[in-house]
Amino acid sequence: MEPSKRHPRWAEVAPEQWNDWRWQVSHSLKNADDLADFMQCSEGQREEVRRLSRNFRFALTPYYASLIDLNDPDDPVGLQAFPQSMELVSAPEEEQDHIGEEHYSPVKRIVHRYPDRVLFILTEQCSFYCRFCTRRRIVGGGMHGEYLDEIQEAITYIAETPQIRDVLISGGDPFVYADEKLEGVLAKLRAIEHVEIIRFGTRVPVVIPMRITSELCSMLRKYHPIYVNTHFNHPREITPESAAACARLADAGMPLGNQTVLMRGVNDCPVVMKKLVHELLKIRVRPYYLYQADLAPGTKHFRAPISKGIEIIESLRGHTTGFAVPNFVVDMVGGGGKVPIAPNYVVSQAPGKWVLRNFEGFMSTYTEPDDYEDRCPEKCGASHATPSTNGKVQSVASLLRSRAPAMKAKGRQQTAAAARVRAVRQGT
Ligand SMILES: *Cc1c(COP(=O)(O)O)cnc(C)c1O
Ligand code: SF4
């Protein structure tokens, strides 16, 4: 396939340089004036960009910059890349730690929100800073620190916590890390017996696909099972280069998923989203999550209503391949974690009988067996409750299985992780 068009500014760059991620990183637009030149700003706008640069980091790779249509002020790729004055305005509902991650951080770089898996924030650096980033409070900070002690402390926490069977390495962007350093971390994680799977969350295949080298892939495949989740938001981000990067990862045996953030003016449209999920399947990437935009400070101009997400799922489910349909999730304010939201397909219910509707609006009934006995194939019976550390009702799933008629009324139940956070804070 023909390579993607380059912006005239880089038309003369030799292909060996253009296709070298190091060249892309060292030629990224990082300061306000470079960016303002590229955006063809007026003097007033240039002042604005300078003002914004004091608050937020920029980095725009020549590759990703070339995907922007500079003649279109509403270009969906440009909107993700160019700073806007609205970023300096925080809406009242926006808070710095809006998803409550700090409450669940037992040690630096680890967020242990769910019982059996952790988020491992390997680095604050990204090769491109998305204007809507939910982790704006941390990314781009810390500059070029190495944080080897913190990384070791995070690995030690994982090693000492046997419930953790799944480690999600994210950031920032973990693939900005050099291969050898990444391998050091992977080797240590793989040496931990209870770590079953390792996954990466990365935007590298979208913004600097040349970083997915065959060397990186051969290194990663030594540590299987590894899953990679990438982050395409618009069909225009799928190019011969990003497709090739995904092919290299998939050929090295990594199942690929994608998360998309629902964004006003970028992809808040069933037609755009259907095109995106179809294009993703063509490059062997399976849509995983569609995120309702978080309440990150200065991002209100990107947010669409939750109802738009439901409308999009309604337009996909049944209308296209089942596994092209992502789960639409909202990350709850207050540290509640991700909650899936879907259109209602259950129209009504009576004992033994359900009325369901399909994507076309057709309705029919499902009759449940009248002789069903709740017996577990493992013969563990009703005691087969969702694991709870202290025998108390700790989730809706365990409520269904226990004799207790209600959860404790006072506050949310504490997870083991939250208890551990408190212990760490109190220095016990
Ligand atoms: C999203 C997330 C995970 C992973 O969640 P899955 O639903 O398993 O993909 C883990 N930890 C944190 C803190 C997260 O935000
Ligand atoms: S790549 Fe991810 S962490 Fe980095 S700026 Fe974009 S959304 Fe934020």
Full set of structural domains in the chain with CATH: 8-72 (no CATH), 102-340 (3.20.20.70), 342-372 (no CATH), 382-426 (no CATH)
Provide the pLDDT for residue 270.
98
Tokens of 165: 């069977």
113 is catalytic: yes
The predicted structure's pLDDT at residue 428 = 47
420 is known as an active-site residue: no
Distance 120 CA to ligand 1 centre (A): 10
Pocket of ligand 2 (CB under 6 A): 126, 129-130, 133, 135, 139, 171-173, 203
**217 catalytic per annotation:** no
Q: Kindly list the distances between the CA atom of residue 329 and the CA atoms of 32, 161, 406, in Å, as whole numbers in the listed order.
A: 34, 27, 26
The DSSP bridge partners found for residue 285 are 256
**Candidates 135, 274, 308, 420; catalytic one:** 135
**Among residues 294, 300, 303, 308, which one is catalytic?**
294
**CA nearest ligand 1 atom 2, residue:** 119
The tokens of 206 are what? 């979208």
Ligand nearest to the CA of 100: 1
- Pocket test residue of 133, 232, 302 for ligand 2, highest count of atoms within 8 A of CB: 133
What is the DSSP annotation of 181-227? Answer: HHHHHHHHHHTSTT--EEEEE--HHHH-GGGS-HHHHHHHGGG-SEE
pLDDT of residue 400: 82
Q: Tell me how far apart the alpha carbons of residues 377 and 400 are, in angstroms, rounded to a whole number.
A: 18
- What was the pLDDT predicted at 416? 57
**Known active-site residue 130:** yes
| Structure confidence at residue 98 (pLDDT) | 72
- Strand ranges (DSSP E) for 61-155? 110-114, 117-121
- Residue 196: per-residue pLDDT: 98
- Is 248 catalytic? The answer is no
| Gap from CA of 331 to ligand 1 centroid (Å) | 10
Whether the CA torsion 90, 37, 59, 232 is positive or negative: it is positive
Q: DSSP assignment of 129-192, as one string? A: --TT-TTTTTTTTTTT---HHHHHHHHHHHHT-TT--EEEEESS-GGGS-HHHHHHHHHHHHTS
Is 314 exposed, middle or buried, given 0-12, 13-18 or 19+ CB atoms closer than 10 A? Answer: middle
Q: Measuring CA to CA, which residue among 76, 5, 73 is closest to residue 40?
A: 73
Q: Which residue has the tokens 């953030």?
A: 261
Rounded to the nearest 10 degrees, what angle do helices 306-316 and 270-282 cross at?
60
114 C-alpha to ligand 1 centroid (Å): 7
- Lookup result for tokens 């994608």: 258
Query: Which pLDDT belongs to residue 423?
Result: 62
- Measure 57 CA to ligand 2 centroid, in angstroms: 11
Cα of 251 to ligand 2 centre, how many Å?
Answer: 25
Task: Please identify which of the residues 117, 236, 300, 303 carries the catalytic annotation.
Answer: 117
Per-residue model confidence (pLDDT) at position 383 = 53
Name residues of the chain where pLDDT drops below 50: 143, 385, 387-389, 411, 413, 428
Beta carbons within 8 Å of 307's beta carbon, 6+ residues apart: none
Structure tokens at 78: 């440009």
Closest ligand 2 atom to residue 126 Cα is: 4
